[in-house]
Structure formats: C-alpha cells, structure tokens
C-alpha cells in the first residue's frame, strides 16, 4: 500500500511513523524544511519539501500509484485544495482531509457525499468532545471508547490501593462481582500484558476491559469507582473545542463556567452561550479559581492551546478540591509523563485524528479503530467477511496471532462476550485488541484466507 501524507506535523509524523513500522510505502510532503528534516532523521519514509497542494509536487510524490492521500496540515484550505488537485490527477486515489474550522461542520456530509474530491472529512475536535462526554459519564476511567454504536464500552482504569479486586486472579473476578468481565490487557510498569485467567491484578495496574453498556455501572462499583453525576463544570479555554463542549453541557442541564483570557473572545462567547457563565481571566490564577468556587466543581476541563497551561490548571484544580480534571494535550511526548504527576484523564485532538485516519487505512471491512494513548496497541472493530480465516472455527483454534484477542462479538444486534469456544460467523461485527506488532497480521486475517498470501 502506498500512502501520501500532506503535512509533517504531529499527526502526519505519527501516521508516517506507524505506517513505516508496518512496512507500508509512505511519502510525506511539507513546506517546512525543519519538519521534513525531523521526519527524515527519525522515520524511514520518503520526505519531500514542497507544497502538498501543488500538482507538480503531487505528481513527483507518485500520486497516481497511491491508494490513499491524507491531507493533514494545519490549514483547512490547503487540505481542501490538496484533495481537489489529487482528484484531478488521480481520481481513484482515496482522499482524506482534516478540516477543523466549525464553519465547515454543516458541509461535511455534502463534501463527502456530493463532492468527488474528498472521500472522508476528519474533524478531530468533534471526537475530542465525545471523549470528554464519555469521561464525564464514567468515573475513574482514563481511557474510554465506544464500539457497536455504543453497545460495548472499552474502558481503561487504574486499580486503586485497597481495592477488593487487588491480588485476585482474573478467572475469580466473575464470582467476586457477580458478572462476567473480559480483561483485554494490563499495563504494569509501562509494559502492556495480555493476561491469562491465572494472572493477578495489583494496585497501580492500568486495566483495560470490555463491557456491555448496561452492565458497566456494576463493574465500576466492583472496582470501587463510584458513579457521581456531573452537575457543575468549568471549562478553561473558550476556543473551538471549549465552545462545542459548553454547548453540549448547556443542553445537558450542567451548570457551566467558561474562563477565557481574550476579552474579544469572551464577548463572542457571551453572545453565543445561552446559560453558561463566561469569565474573562487567566485560568491559572489561583485567586480567580477561588473566587469562582473551584472546589464546588464536579469537573474542570482544560482546553487552551497551551499544554503547559492545561497541565498547570488541572493540577491546581485537583489540589483546590475539584472533583476531576480532564486535560487537553497535543504533544505525544507528554503522554507518558502524565500518570506520574497525577493527571489521568487526557484528550488529544491529534490522537483523535489518528484514530479516524487509521480506520480508513486499515484493510478489511474495518468500522472503527482506537489507539491506546501509549500507542502500544489498537482496538479494531470490523465486519467478519466470509473469506476471512477467522470465521467458522472456535477462537482457541483460530489463526489469531499471539498478542491479539477477540474481546467482543455483535451478532444480529446482540452482544456476545467471547470465550475460547466462541465461533465467529460471516457478517458478525467483531472487536479485536491487538498489540502494535501484530496489527498487520490482523489486517490480513480480516481480509482473506491466509493461504492466498
């Protein structure tokens, strides 16, 4: 598979790195010589310094041989023009454009369905707001993803000191909590493990499990995570994401305050919001936070464009008595540091963009993809094809590679939490957890029978 990526920023860089790791043919185009040098020095891909919207540069990159073009620069206009030119030069190439400006929201469907120039519009900010909503509804979760239209939840949470599940074997959990639970992975001392039934859980473990939506509350209680509805929320940063979130919280009846530094932006927000209280000020000002009763907030969500500010305000909010904090980060290099300083709930527009992009890059009938924040694994939702080698046999005797696990099956609208004796049928929607190293093998299994390769 040949992929052309327009834009060597954080999203472009990490997609290129991921695809290079999987031995795909990748070409990256960017106008910034520094970005190109960083890419060339660290990733085994072809890098071209130039404009991704230039027909000459696109031809030079080998667009006519490419299966996919990803336009992921920081400019919506550049991404749109790149897809337009790509469609003229190579109509059969699949084109994905990252478009973040809210003014385009109403036209996403039109761009996808009526315009031949763009196959998929990616707006990571919409996905970030959905992630925040999930965090607000699931106490203690540090990672939450929806699959099968929300029927299945994939949740990551830390096991607390003193938890009643500490020290017990996985196979003993159903009897302990009164319902079946499938633990997909455990991260212990930064190492990801796919555990067996005899594996034990220990305080400090980051545990990833799959659950039906209706059974999630009782599982959370078993992990000593008490469900507490969010009634008051503070948003620090009144940009596009903050505005989208405030609008949703307003409609949900949550009392919302927005702190924004810019006076001009505050005036716009005050005119736009119906119930939310808009406050001009610095979200890292402890006096301001005290005046606004930070200790009464069930959640503080920091969404400025400055990572350091977001981290600082989140730490201040927790120290001053806020119920929970959710922190926006863009730099992937910061992610491993967050648990060490006490920040667990993190959202990233760039990671959201990568998840959406991977969904369209993966071979087979892949419906959605989620990457764990440490990038050690992916969770793929796909339709089982009749030609796939995974159908028609018990999972314990299937060709799934070591480092992967089927964690959910949806058949005719019914959810099945699989065991080793479960048999996948053609047309089933399946959820697969896979370590990064075996994702390419999973792609092949989802496509056709292995003997064809």
Instruction: Give the residue from 191, 192, 193, 201 showing the smallest Cα distance to 171.
Output: 201
Q: Are 186 and 201 in contact (CB under 8 A)?
A: yes
CATH of 352-452, one of 3.40.50.300, 3.30.70.1450, 3.40.50.720, 3.30.300.30: 3.30.70.1450
Confidence band (pLDDT; 50, 70, 90) for 451?
very low
Q: What percent of the chain has pLDDT over 90?
A: 58
Kindly report the pTM of this predicted structure. Answer: 0.84
Strand partners, 154: 145, 210
Instruction: Summarize pLDDT for 200-221 with one digit per residue, the tens.
Output: 999 999 999 998 888 888 888 8
The reported pLDDT for the residue numbered 452 is 38
The reported pLDDT for the residue numbered 448 is 60
- Whether 293 has a pLDDT exceeding 90, the answer reads yes
Bigger pLDDT: 218 or 319? 319
Written as one string, the DSSP assignment of 100-165 is: --GGGGGGHHHHHHT-TT-SEEE-HHHHHHHHHHHHHHSTTEEEEEEETTTTEEEEEEEPPTT-TT
Confidence band (pLDDT; 50, 70, 90) for 106?
low
Mean pLDDT of the chain: 89
Mean pLDDT computed over 142-164: 89
How far, in Å, are 10, 111, 138, 363 from residue 293 at the CA level?
A: 36, 44, 24, 50
Which tokens belong to 226? Answer: 């008490």
The reported pLDDT for the residue numbered 78 is 94
Instruction: Give the residue from 45, 27, 36 showing the smallest Cα distance to 9.
Output: 36
CATH topology of domain 232-348: Rossmann fold (3.40.50)
Question: For the domain 128-222, what is the CATH code?
Answer: 3.30.70.1450
CATH topology of domain 2-122: Rossmann fold (3.40.50)
CATH 3.30.70.1450 domain span(s) along the chain = 128-222, 352-452
Bigger pLDDT: 107 or 72? 72
Measured CA to CA, the distance from residue 352 to residue 122 in angstroms comes to 9
Instruction: Summarize pLDDT for 219-252 with one digit per residue, the tens.
Output: 888 888 877 789 999 999 999 999 999 999 999 9
Q: Reduced to 3 states, what is the DSSP secondary structure of residue 64?
A: helix
Q: What percent of the chain has pLDDT over 70?
A: 95
Which tokens belong to 392? Answer: 């028609």
CATH 3.40.50.720 domain span(s) along the chain = 2-122, 232-348
């Amino acid at each position: 598979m040949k992929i052309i990526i327009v834009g060597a920023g954080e999203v472009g860089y990490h997609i290129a790195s991921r695809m290079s790791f999987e031995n795909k043919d990748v070409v990256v185009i960017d106008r910034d010589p520094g970005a190109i040098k960083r890419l060339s020095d660290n990733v085994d891909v072809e890098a071209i310094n130039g404009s991704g919207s230039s027909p000459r540069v696109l031809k030079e990159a080998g667009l006519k041989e490419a299966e996919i073009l990803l336009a992921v620069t920081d400019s919506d206009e550049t991404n749109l023009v790149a897809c337009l030119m790509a469609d003229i030069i190579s109509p059969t190439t699949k084109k994905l454009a990252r478009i973040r400006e809210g003014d385009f929201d109403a036209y996403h469907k039109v761009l996808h369905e009526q315009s031949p120039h763009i196959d998929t519009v990616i707006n990571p900010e919409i996905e970030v707001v959905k992630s925040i909503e999930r965090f607000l509804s699931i106490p203690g979760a540090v990672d939450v993803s929806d699959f099968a239209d929300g029927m299945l939840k994939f949740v990551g949470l830390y096991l607390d000191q003193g938890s009643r599940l500490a020290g017990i074997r996985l196979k003993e959990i159903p009897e302990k909590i009164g319902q079946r639970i499938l633990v997909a992975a455990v991260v212990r001392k930064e190492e990801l493990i796919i555990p067996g039934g005899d594996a034990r859980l220990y305080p400090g473990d980051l545990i990833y499990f799959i659950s039906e939506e209706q059974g999630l509350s009782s599982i959370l209680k078993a992990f000593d995570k008490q469900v507490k509805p969010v009634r008051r929320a503070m948003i620090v940063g009144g940009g596009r994401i903050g505005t989208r979130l405030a609008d949703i919280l307003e409609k949900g009846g949550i009392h919302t305050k927005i702190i924004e530094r810019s006076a001009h932006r505050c005036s716009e927000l005050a005119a736009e919001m119906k119930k939310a209280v808009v406050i001009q000020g610095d979200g890292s000002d402890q006096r301001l936070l005290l005046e606004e009763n930070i200790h009464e907030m069930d959640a503080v969500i920091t969404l400025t464009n400055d990572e350091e500010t977001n981290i600082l305000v989140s730490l201040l909010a927790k120290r001053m008595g806020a119920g929970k904090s959710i922190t926006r980060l863009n730099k992937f290099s910061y992610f491993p540091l967050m648990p060490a300083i006490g920040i667990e709930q993190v959202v990233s527009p760039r990671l959201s963009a990568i998840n959406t992009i991977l969904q369209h890059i993966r071979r087979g009938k892949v419906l959605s993809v989620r990457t764990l924040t440490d990038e050690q694994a992916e969770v793929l939702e796909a339709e089982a094809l009749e030609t796939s080698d995974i159908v028609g046999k018990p999972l314990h005797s299937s060709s799934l590679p070591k480092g992967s696990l089927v964690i959910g099956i949806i058949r005719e609208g019914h959810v099945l939490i699989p065991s080793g004796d479960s048999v996948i049928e053609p047309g089933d929607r399946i959820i697969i957890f896979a370590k990064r190293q075996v994702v390419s093998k999973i792609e092949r299994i989802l496509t056709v029978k292995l003997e064809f390769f």
